[in-house]
Structure 1
Amino acid sequence: MEALLLNAGYEISDLDSADYVIVNTCAVKDPTEHHMSRRIKELLDGGKRVIVTGCLPHINPKVIDERVSAILGVKSIDRIGDAIRLAEEGEKLISIEQRSVDKLELPRIWKSSVAFVVPISEGCLNACTYCGTRFARGVLKSYAPEKVVKWVKEALARGYKEIQLSSEDTGCYGFDIGTNLAELLDEITAIEGEFRVRVGMMNPNHVIKFLDELVDVYKDEKIYKFLHLPVQSGDNEILRLMARTYTVEEFEEIVGAFRRKIPGLNLNTDIIVGFPGETEEAFQNTVALIERVRPDKINVSRFSPRPGTLAAKMKNQVVGWRAKERSRYLHRLRLSISYEINKKLVGRELEVLTHGQGQKGGIEGRTMNYKDIILPGAPVGEFVKVKVTKATATYLMGELVE
C-alpha cells in the first residue's frame, strides 16, 4: 500500500503530520479485535481521518467506527489510492468483496533491511471451526513459482540476505496450480548466492501429503532448520471438533521425520486451550504431547469465539478462568522446555546472520535454525561465527569468534 500511494503521488509521513492514517487490521482473536477497534476510535477522537484495511472489515465490520473515511478488505488494497482520492471528494469507498488480486504483481518498497518478505499464496484449504481469518482470505490462491523466484532474485540482487516465505499456510502452496512447497524450495535454493530462507507456518494435514519430499529439500544449507507446525491440541476428539483433519499421531509422525533427517531442528507449534468441549482429560492429553515432543517454542492461545464460526455456537464452552489456568500452565511448561533446550547450546560455536539493533540492546541475529541471539557488537547483514555464552527461555546471547 505504501508503494501504491507513492506511485500515486502521495507522501508518507509520521503520525502527527499525516492527513490520513491507514490502520491495517487483524481480527484473529477477540482481544486483538478490541485493540484494533479501540485504536481506530482513539485516532478519530484525536481528529485524524482514518482508512481501515485488513481482516477486520470481513470478520466483524460492525465494530468499525462509522466515522472512518474508507474501508478496504484484504483483496482491495490495490484501491488505496482511490480510497484517499474519493475521501478528498467527500465520498466513502467501501470495498470488501472477494476480488482476484495477485500481490506479486503489485509494487513494493525496498527498505534498508536484511530480511525481505515474499508472499507465496493467500487463503487456505482448511475449514477450521474456530477460524474467522478464512472469511477474509478466502480459498487458496497460489502465486506462480516463476513470480516468486523473480522476487527472490530481485531481493538478493538488492543485498537482502534472508528471504521469508509468507502465507496463511505454506503447507498447501501449489495444490491449486499443480505443484507444492518442496518444488518451490528446490527452485529457490538453486539460485546462486549466500542467503537463507525462512519458511512460514504449515499445517500438518497438508505437509503429510509430501513429507519425504519436503524433508529432503530442508536439508539444503540455504533453508533455516525451522519448522512452524501448529498442532492446536493433543487430543484427537478436540482436533475433530476443530475440523483440523489430522491426528495427533500424524503430527508426531511429521515431527519424527524431520528430526531424523534435520539435526538441530527448531520446532515451533501452536496450542489453543479452552476449546469448546475440552475436558480435563483432553487438556492433559495436550500436556502429555508437549512433554513427549518437547517443541522449542509453543504459542499458547486461549480459545476466542469469532463471529460466524461454528465453534462460537458450540455447546460445552469452557469457562474463562479454567482456560486461563490451562494457558498459564502450558506457558510455564513451554518456558521450562525452551530453557532446557537452549541451555544445551551454551559453549557451542554457531553460524549467525546478523539483522540489526535488537530491542534488548546489542545486535540481534538468527542462528541457522532461526533462534534469536543477541551479540554485544557485530557487522549487520553478515554471516558470522558466534560462541553462545548464555541462554534464556526465549533467546540466546553470544560473542563473535575471532
Structure 2
Amino acid sequence: MKIYFESYGCTLQKSESSLYLNKLLKDENNQIVNSPEEADLSLIGTCVVIKHTEDRMVKRISSLSKVSGNVQVLGCLATVNGNTIESGNVQVLKPREFRSFYEGDLDGIEIKSDIYDGIPINQGCTGSCNFCISHIARGKLLSRGIDKIVNQVNMELDRNIKEIRISSLDTAAYGKDIGTDLAELVNRISSIDRDFYLRVGMLEPRNTYDILDKLVDAYRHDRVFKFLHLPVQSAENNVLSAMNREYTIEEAEAVWQKFHDAFPDMSIATDIILGYYNDSRAGFEKTMKFLEKYNPDIINVTRFSPRPYTKDYNKTPLNSNLLKEWSNEIISLHREQMEKKLDSYLGREEKVLITEKGKNGTMVGRDINYRPVVLKGNYEKYSEIKCTIVSHGSNYLIGE
C-alpha cells in the first residue's frame, strides 16, 4: 500500500501521528509516497486549537479526499469532530484507538521513516481550562511507564538520533497517575550512558510549580537542553482565574525565576492569549510588564477563540482591532528585547549540535540553551561543532 502523510499542530500531535505512520510501515508491503494523487491511503494529523486552524484542517481533508483513494484522520479533529467529517472515503482514528497507544501499542514500534517528531510520554492532562478544547479531545491523564519510555529512547539512540524530544499536552503532569513525576523521568533518561541531548516539551505552570525544586535539579544534567516552554497566557490574576488556569501569576513567576537563576542563559518560550472576554487594557499592561521583565526568547501570541464543548464557547472575544494593536505592541517589545539579547552573544564560543539543513547552503544547530545557530557549510547531522558567534538574525545566532 502506498501511503501519503502530512501532519499539523503541536509536537505531541505530530509525534503521535508519525508513530502511527511507522506502525503501518511495519508491513513491508507499505511504503511512503510524495503526493496524495499516487497514494492508496492519505494520513493527516490534525489540530483544532483555534477555529481558524480547524477550518484549515477540514478544507485540507476535503482536498485530500478528492485525489486520494482513502483518507484517515488522526489527532484532535478526529477525537472532537470525527462524526462530522467521517464519510465516503474519509475515516477517523477513534479516541479509544488513540489512547491505546499509551496502554502498550507504542512499545516496540520500529521507526522506518525519516518522519519522526519525538516521544509522547503521556496522554491528556490534569487541567480543565475553560477555553481549551485540547483537554476535551485528549481526555484524562494517562502516563506511560518510565521503563517503556526509556526503552523507546534507546531505540532512537540505536538509530543515531541525538536530539531526544519528549512531549505531551503538559509534560509537567507526567506521572501523577502512576506515582512518579517528570523530574524522575528526566533523571532516568539523562542517566543513559550514551551520546545525546534531551529536550523537554511544554510544561504548564501549575504542575511545574508542584515539582519545581526537583525539576530544576534534573535540568542540571549536561545532557538536558536548557529550554523551558512555560505558557503563562496572561499576567492578570482575574483573567487566569476566569480561565481556570489553577495558578496565580506569582506562582508562574516563581517557576520562571527559579529556572532563570539556575540557568541564566536558558531559552524560555511562553504563550499569551489576547482578547479573553474579561481582559482589559490594565490586564494587558500587566502582561506587557511581565514580558518586559522576564524577556522570553519565544512568545506565541494567539487571540481568544471560543471553541465548542468548552465552558467559554458562548463568551465574546474583545474587539479585533484592539487586539491587533496589542499584538503589535508585543511584537515590537519582543523584537527590541531579542536584538539586545542576541547582541550579547557576539564573540562567544559555542558548541552546537547540528540538527537540520538550513537555507542557501547552511546548516542549523542548537547550543545547550536550545538557541538556533546557523552555520555555512555541509556538516553531518548530529555532529557537534565548535564555533564563534559573529552575527544574528531576528531570532537566531550566526556562527563561524
Do Structure 1 and Structure 2 share a fold, with TM-score over 0.5? yes
Superposed displacement of residue 291, structure 1? 0.8
Partner of 2:233: 232
Provide TM-score, normalisation by structure 2. 0.89
Tell me which of 26, 30, 34 is aligned to 2:55: 34
Q: Secondary structure of 2:118's match?
A: strand
Superposed displacement of residue 175, structure 1? 0.8
Deviations 1:197-249 (A, max 9, x none): 00000011001111111111111110001011110001000000111111111
Structure 2 residue 357 is the aligned partner of structure 1 residue 336? no
Contact 2:201-2:229 within 8 A present in 1 as well:
yes
Contact 1:73-1:136 within 8 A present in 2 as well:
no
Structure 2 residue 160 is the aligned partner of structure 1 residue 159? yes
Structure 1 residues 349-358 or 328-337, which shifts more? 328-337
- CA distance in structure 2 between the aligned counterparts of 1:360 and 1:213, rounded to whole angstroms: 43
Q: What aligned pairs does 1:158-177 form with structure 2 within 5 A after superposition?
A: 158-177=159-178
Give the AA of the match of 1:394. Answer: N
Provide TM-score, normalisation by structure 1. 0.88
Considering only aligned residues, what root-mean-square deviation do their CA atoms show, in Å? 2.1
Structure 2 residue 349 is the aligned partner of structure 1 residue 346? no
- CA distance in structure 2 between the aligned counterparts of 1:380 and 1:45, rounded to whole angstroms: 38
Superposed displacement of residue 360, structure 1? 6.0
- CA distance in structure 2 between the aligned counterparts of 1:188 and 1:320, rounded to whole angstroms: 45
Partner of 2:268: 267
The number of residue pairs the alignment matches comes to 378
C-alpha change, 1:319 and 1:339, in structure 2 (3 Å) is same
- CA distance in structure 2 between the aligned counterparts of 1:285 and 1:103, rounded to whole angstroms: 45
- CA distance in structure 1 between the aligned counterparts of 2:232 and 2:194, rounded to whole angstroms: 35
Deviations 1:178-199 (A, max 9, x none): 1111111111111102211000
C-alpha change, 1:337 and 1:136, in structure 2 (3 Å) is same
Partner of 1:12: 32
Q: What aligned pairs does 1:3-402 form with structure 2 within 5 A after superposition?
A: 3-8=22-27, 9-15=29-35, 16-46=37-67, 48-61=69-82, 64=85, 66-77=87-98, 101-105=103-107, 107-111=109-113, 117-314=118-315, 317-359=317-359, 361-377=361-377, 378-399=379-400
% identity of equivalent residues: 35
Contact 1:355-1:366 within 8 A present in 2 as well:
yes
C-alpha change, 1:68 and 1:303, in structure 2 (3 Å) is farther
Contact 1:152-1:163 within 8 A present in 2 as well:
yes
- CA distance in structure 1 between the aligned counterparts of 2:271 and 2:103, rounded to whole angstroms: 29
Structure 1 residues 283-292 or 49-58, which shifts more? 49-58
Contact 1:27-1:55 within 8 A present in 2 as well:
yes
- CA distance in structure 1 between the aligned counterparts of 2:118 and 2:359, rounded to whole angstroms: 20
- CA distance in structure 1 between the aligned counterparts of 2:368 and 2:34, rounded to whole angstroms: 36
- CA distance in structure 2 between the aligned counterparts of 1:143 and 1:117, rounded to whole angstroms: 14
Contact 1:169-1:202 within 8 A present in 2 as well:
yes
C-alpha change, 1:7 and 1:309, in structure 2 (3 Å) is same
Unaligned runs of 5+ residues in structure 1 are 78-96
Give the AA of the match of 2:50. Answer: K
Q: Secondary structure of 1:270's match?
A: strand
